[in-house]
Homo-oligomer: A and B are copies of this chain.
Amino acid sequence: MPKETFFNLKEEKRLKILNAAIDQFALKPYEQVMISDIIKTSEIPRGSFYQYFTDKEDLYTHILKIINEEKRKFLNETLKNTEKINFIELSKILFKNGVDFALESPKFIHIFNHLLTHRNQIYEKVMAENIIIAKNIFIELIEKDKLNGLIKKDIDSSALAELIIQLTSTIAIDELDIENKETSYKKMLQKNDNILKIIGYGIIKGEN
């Protein structure tokens, strides 16, 4: 948690520091980001940095918190009026929501992807919890769909939930291409559809 001094700063200055940091963390993985770079870009003296934050991790986790909040807001907007939705439909919506968020906030997604591809102590602290929460939500939905006769009863709910989480997070990494927004967007949605079709109906012909 940044120190009170940071929150007492005039908004302009506070945002300048925050944006400088976001730029850096979007550019490089956590370990490679140097406090020196951040204070250079945001034009604050070294001493001030330590007046605002305990250390790099303090600033970083604060930014991750902001990103999480933004993602949640964005998701809530998407999920309006989507009650009683089934698992496959929800997965589709979540895929699309993720892609939309990525295109709207590319820097945030870069930061997120760095965390996924350069796991560190912070990954464990921040992500592990998120993933468990997400998994439980999925499992609940899957079980409900089983009861409603939508999903085969002999499917392992836990494996399926993990599969979807795995895929939603890795697709973003591989296909995200901010340079070609439109192409990238279509590609990602197309890939999502292909994968969900596989998961929905399987690949083996003539059996069920």
Contacts and interface: CB of A to CB of B under 8 A. Distances in A.
A204 B153 CA distance: 10
A149 B203 contact: no
Interface in A117-150: 117-119, 149-150
Interface stretch (A18-26, A65-73, A158-166): A158-166
Interface string A172-208: 0010000000000000000100110111111111111
Contacts of A202: 152, 198-202, 208
A153 B155 CA distance: 24
Residue from A88, A166, A201, A204 whose CB has the most chain B CB atoms within 10 Å: A204
A156 interface: yes
A2 to B, nearest CB: 27
Interface residues of A, number: 36
A103 interface: no
A199 B200 contact: no
Interface in A66-113: 88
B118 A150 contact: no
Given A31-B31, A166-B167, A207 B198 contact: no
Given A118-B119, A166-B170, A205 B149 contact: yes
Contacts of A39: none
B204 A159 contact: no
A31 to B, nearest CB: 6
Contacts of A195: 159, 163
